[in-house]
Chain A
Amino acid sequence: MKYGVKRYLLLSILCLFLINLTGCWDNKDIIELGIVSAVGIDKTSDDQVEVTIQIMKISAIKAKAQGSSEETFWTFSKKGNTVFEAIRSILTTIDHKPFYNFNELVVIGEDLAKDGVMDVLDFFERDHENRVQSFVLIAKGISAKEVLSAKTDLASVPALHLVETIKSSKASTRIIEMELFDLLKGFSCPGKNPVAGVIEKLNSEDDELKIINLSVEGGAVFIKDKLQGWIESKDLVGYLIIINEFKNGIINIPNPHEENKFVTIELKKVNSKMDIKFVNNKPIIFLDVKAEGNIGEQQGPGDLTTKEMVKKLDEGLEKKIEEEVTKVFKLAQEEYKNDFLGFGNIIYKKNLRYWKKVKDNWDSEFSNIPVDIKIKAKVLQPGQVKKALEPK
């Protein structure tokens, strides 16, 4: 009997140890949490960090679905020397415990980005309550606090509106989908500088800032962890093609029948391969692009399905893609002198010895490397009609 008691005691002690293995052990009811949908970080004039959080007002969200006009979110802002300090001081204001696991969006103010973002992002990487899958946007010409207080009529919460916009506008190829995790990875990756998404204010006469007055487009180029400049949204096509992230989008080429009219090609499949080859111990950038697309729209008359015309279309598409790509190379090599395309990383992987030699002044080295671009494009299907209707 004594032996048995001892055994059960031992077993229950072992079970107690198991409790330590659990990650989250505190029983916290879901309604005691304030669900944070977005976090914004700005730099204040007195060099402090101002953290803004947007908390979902769940009851209002439900009411909104039934037609109520009540606001669906609160925003709170607090200042502090560090992000953590500011976030902790928010606790003095709200009764719910902020819950960051559903944080979908991190907005960083332009001023802060120019000074370097690593100091504020460390908290997001370190703290277990945060998620690194939230999207990152750099606020251009507007503070993050303003972005988070913008109201929405469409989605339940402004942050969700922005997130859905980012996700759904992949096809427009004017947005960069950058998650916090990828941004942090980009900072640490040798020979590559990250490009983050941008949110900017459109011109409007409304007093109250609304989400529809904001636009998510373009890219923010970083050098190390500091904001260097912007990529215009129309230039993003080339950038996305180079880094092989161009999934589905459209490109306009001139109509072979009539020069000043357009044919829109919907690209269905774009594969690009970045490579660096060494000739006489000098690196040369190679870019190999293979594209396939269908005719999406045609301006002007004419049958585009003849053999001859198809060939002309193919050539036009190749020319157009080359234009777009060259534009981006020019931006990287001449204007910014910044390898945000990631060719340094290829050298790092292929030729470590050479990389060690050039890594300290890689960005200036990069701007002098010759570029060889090869493009093979094909237009496959004309859509539901063979040729455009000609009004008589």
Chain B
Amino acid sequence: MFRTLIRKFNYLKLNSLNNSSIKNTPKKEEIPKSIKEIKNKLNQTFSECNDFITRELEIGEKREIKVIIAYIDGLVEKKMVDTEIIKPILIDSRLTKLNQEFNKKTTIEILKENIISISGLNEVDDFNESIQSILSGDTMTYIDGNKKALKADTRGFEFRGVEEPDTESVVRGPREGYTESIRINTALLRRKVKNANLKFESLKLGKQTNTDVMVCYIKGIAHDDVVETVKRRLKKINTDAILESGYIEEFIEDAPLSIFPTVGNTEKPDITAAKILEGRVAILCDGTPFVLTVPYLFVESIQASEDYYSRFISSSFLRLIRILALASSTLTPAIYVALLCFHQDIIPAKLMITIVSSREGVPFSAFIEAALMIIAFELLREAGVRMPRQIGQAVSIVGALVLGQSAVEAGLISSMMVIVIAVTAITSFIVSSMDRTIPFLRFALLIGANVIGFMGIFLVSEVILIYMCSLRSFGVPYLAPFSPLNGMDLKDTFIRVPVWAMLKRPKALTENKDGGEQSGYRMKVNYRKKED
């Protein structure tokens, strides 16, 4: 059915790949020798850029060599530029006794080694690269008569501090969350995993935005194929803008038309750390606190970071509760409709009386009633997310009183249906990572139930299961370790065994030392004993 669509989609992807390989490689351009040319070129590039600032200075005792300092106001820490670059050039260069004479050739060496007191200092010989650095918040120092320039890391701009994220609050566990600055995010992650094998590979994405993106993994744990796949897919991205990691997610996910997410995201460094320690790859994107992790499997939707921070008995219980919530959130309306319309005979007599008396006088069929209530709930929920905080109270009053109580009192909706939808609503919040998927499943099952009762529910759930089995996330079967079944990996699914009993890393994710492709599913299935 979707095959043609998918094929077309792949074709489009291929197209964009071809284009990107032509357009995205920036041409190398030499830095002009003469300071005048440099100045002209800079002014030309940054014409009408109010925040671009250049400063021409003379260096040395004889003041014969000119340099240009260029940066973007707001992106740099001004104090640093003033005291560590401009002041040494203007004053220290004249006072310090040097072995060498200043001339066009030696200046860059002297500046580098003796004068500029900034740790992040690099030589650049490509004009385009220097422009790019300026745009990222570096300060460039161009020297008259030299084809090389100096790039000083003076980045310092306003950003939100490290706060507790609203989306993933915990009772026990670290409260820090990512910020919009990628450098802080990498630092947060590095603080969790103090290991040189933790790699951050940087690349820039987006033709217009030039967003910094980093691929993060632990060398030796992450599967090489996955790392390679991630990098390959990222390099293929050809788009104007990457404003959030969601843009990247859509480009690299395995099943772009699926309702199931095959790329995970989180706002917390401890979760990311745990995931990359299991062999996953994280993708950090500048400008957003949401970090992607791949491969993303179905089990991850019922796992929470707190499972590992609290004792295993209670967290195993919570796992089961979450599975129950997932089932009840998708199935409850369908089962209720199937019971009411097809299988009245299996309802206990007393419950039957309660249900019938609550439904008496309701003008809609059970299916219409359920569909209306589900849509009403989705509307309320969307309103709750979008509206300004101040009018939240008004919406909740209208939602609870008008939709709930009045609809029942007026006899439009039965009170049983309100309870059923309330149960599905509450339980859908428990498995929050699936909450964009569940409404579709819920509706599909509801329609199945309305057509042929329980048989329809079974039929639809079977189709969903088969479909889930067919999904892959970066080569790993989406339903692993249930399908294909891996007994050892079940240790962290329905229950969480004690941490001291988790001896091996997840089989589906960890690296095979031999490398190479294996038939069947692409992930290598080698055990790696945890080093003590």
A, B from the same assembly: yes
Contact A27:B356 (CB < 8 A) given known A8-B1, A22-B452, A22-B453: no
User: Which residues of A are found within 8 Å of B282, using beta-carbon distances?
Assistant: none
Interchain CB contact under 8 A, A61 and B452: no
Cβ proximity bits B449-460 to A, threshold 8 Å, 1 near / 0 not = 011110100010
Please tell me if the beta carbons of A18 and B356 are within 8 angstroms of each other in the complex: no
Q: Which of A19, A56, A58 contacts B455 (CB 8 A)?
A: A19
B359 on the A face (CB < 8 A) = yes
Q: Which residue of B lies closest to A5 (CB)?
A: B1
Residues of A with C-beta under 8 A to B356: 30-31, 35, 58
- Count contacts on B: residues with CB < 8 A to the other chain: 26
Within 8 Å by CB of A29, from B4, B340, B459, lies B340
Bound: A4/B450 CA distance, A: 29
Among B217-263, those with CB < 8 Å from A are: none
Contact B452 A31 (CB under 8 A): no
Chain A residues lying within 8 Å of B362, measured Cβ to Cβ, are 31
Q: Inside 8 A of B355's CB, which chain A residues have their CB? A: 30
Interface size class of A (residues with CB under 8 A): 20 to 34
B381 interface residue per 8 A CB criterion = no
Which residues from chain B contact A160 at a C-beta distance below 8 Å?
A: 349
Which residues in B have their C-beta under 8 angstroms from that of A56?
353
- From the candidates B1, B342, B359, B459, name the one contacting A15 in the complex (CB within 8 A): B459
Q: Which of B328-360 contact A (CB under 8 A)?
A: 340-345, 349, 352-353, 355-357, 359-360
Q: In residues 10-44 of chain A, which contact B (Cβ within 8 Å)?
A: 15, 18-19, 21-22, 24-31, 33, 35
Could you count the A-B residue pairs with CB atoms below 8 Å apart for me: how many are there? 68
Q: Roughly how many angstroms separate A104 CA and B450 CA in the complex, as a whole number?
A: 28
Closest beta carbon of chain B to A124's beta carbon, Å: 15
- Residues from chain B with a CB closer than 8 A to the CB of A30 are 340-341, 344, 352, 355-356, 359, 366
A24 to B455, CA, bound (A): 10
B3, CB-defined interface residue at 8 Å: yes
Q: Which of B340, B353, B459 sits near A58, CB closer than 8 Å?
A: B353
Tell me, yes or no, whether A329 is within 8 Å of chain B by CB. no
> Is the CB–CB distance between A27 and B341 below 8 Å?
yes
Whether B365 sits at the interface, judged by CB under 8 Å, is yes
* Shortest beta-carbon distance from A70 to chain B in Å: 13
Write the chain B residue with the least CB distance to A104. B349
Find chain A residues with CB under 8 A from B342 CB.
24-28
The answer to whether A102 touches B349 (Cβ under 8 A) is yes
Q: Are A29 and B452 in contact (CB under 8 A)?
A: no
The secondary-structure label for the interface of chain B is helix
**Which of chain B's residues have a CB closer than 8 A to the CB of A59?**
357, 360
**Chain B contacts for A99, CB-based, 8 A:** 344
- What's the least CB distance linking A55 to chain B, in Å? 12
Bound Cα distance A176, B381 (Å): 57
Q: Cβ of B450: which chain A residues have Cβ within 8 Å of it?
A: 27
Alpha-carbon distance A131/B344, docked complex (angstroms): 13
Q: Within the assembled complex, what's the spacing in Å between the Cα atoms of A29 and B366?
A: 7
Bound CA span A131–B365, Å: 27
Give the chain B neighbours of A1 by CB distance below 8 A.
4
Cα of A195 to Cα of B349 in the assembled complex, Å? 27
Chain B residue with Cβ nearest A159: B349
Q: A29-B365, A35-B356 are in contact. Are A18 and B459 (CB under 8 A)?
A: yes
A345 at the interface (CB under 8 A from B): no
The answer to whether A101 touches B344 (Cβ under 8 A) is: yes
- Which one of B352, B357, B366 contacts A62 once the chains associate, using CB atoms below 8 Å? B357
Which residues of A lie under 8 Å from residue B1 when comparing CB positions? 8
Q: Is A338 engaged at the interface, CB distance under 8 Å to the other chain?
A: no
Closest Cβ of chain B to A53, distance in Å, is 16
- Chain A residues, Cβ within 8 Å of B366: 29-30
Cβ 8 A contact of A35, one of B343, B352, B365, B451: B352
A24 touches B453 (CB 8 A): yes
A255 within 8 A of B: no
Q: Across the two chains, which residue of chain A brings its CB closest to B340?
A: A30
A-B contact pairs, 19 of them (CB 8 A): A1-B4, A4-B3, A15-B459, A19-B452, A19-B455, A24-B453, A26-B342, A27-B342, A27-B451, A27-B453, A29-B341, A30-B340, A31-B356, A31-B360, A59-B357, A59-B360, A61-B353, A102-B352, A104-B349
- A22-B452, A27-B341, A30-B341 given; name 10 further pairs at CB < 8 Å: A4-B3, A19-B452, A21-B455, A22-B453, A29-B341, A30-B340, A30-B352, A30-B366, A62-B353, A131-B345
3 interchain residue pairs of minimum CB distance: A101-B345, A62-B357, A22-B455
